[in-house]
Amino acid sequence: MTNVVIFGAPGSGKGTQSELIIKKYGFKHFSTGDILRKQIAAESELGKIAKTFIDRGQLVTDELIIDMIAKELDTVKDASGIIFDGFPRTYAQAEALKKILNEKGTDVTVMLNIQVDDDELIKRLLERGKVSGRSDDNLETITKRIQTYYNQTAPVIDFYQNEGTAVDIKGVGSIDDIFGSIAEAIDSKTIK
């Protein structure tokens, strides 16, 4: 099974590129952001807690996220691959994902580290905010989300560099060109 971690700062294009990966490879998509937004819309207990963090530009606690992902993974039957989009976002989440996958006899195949500078991230998220209706796509929250990324999420890069699975992807340019680099990275780790 191919397990792809799609990684990057908020607005780096993880969701956008995940859709193209699904189209080409048919992998199953786990987006922690999407799952949380569904929980918020459903006004579940998890959704209510998650909203307080998301609206402040903070990460939802590791415990809630790891539990949520473990449950989602238990529902997967015969998938040829999985895309983890927006997860792991902390070092502890990366360790937990490794443990869960190892217990299933598998591991992360490739981590795609999408790199985009802060000015471009802010520009994209403000633009998305005009149509997304997302409560976290405003300048104040975007700025906090980017800070949270550097403080808590960037260390995840070290984790995958040590594992030997991290591949840097230039995330600025046309969506198709970026996808070209992503497909090359996935193929280089899967086609022997």
Kindly list the residues in this chain that would bind ligand B4P in the complex (CB under 6 A): 8, 10-16, 32-33, 36, 53-54, 59-60, 65, 86-87, 89, 93, 124, 127-128, 136, 145, 175, 178
Query: Is 8 or 77 the residue whose CB approaches ligand B4P more closely?
Result: 8
Query: Is 33 or 166 the residue whose CB approaches ligand B4P more closely?
Result: 33
Count the residues in the chain. 192
**Shortest Å, Cβ 98 to ligand B4P:** 15
Query: Is 36 or 105 the residue whose CB approaches ligand B4P more closely?
Result: 36
Query: Is 37 or 189 the residue whose CB approaches ligand B4P more closely?
Result: 37
Say how far apart CA 188 and CA 1 lie, in whole Å.
Answer: 15
Find, among 33, 2, 26, 1, the residue nearest to 185 by Cα. 2
Find, among 65, 157, 177, the residue nearest to 112 by Cα. 157
Say how far apart CA 161 and CA 142 lie, in whole Å.
Answer: 27
**Shortest Å, Cβ 78 to ligand B4P:** 25
**Shortest Å, Cβ 97 to ligand B4P:** 10
Contacting residues for 57 by C-beta, under 8 A, at least 6 apart: 136, 140, 141, 142, 143, 144, 145, 147, 148
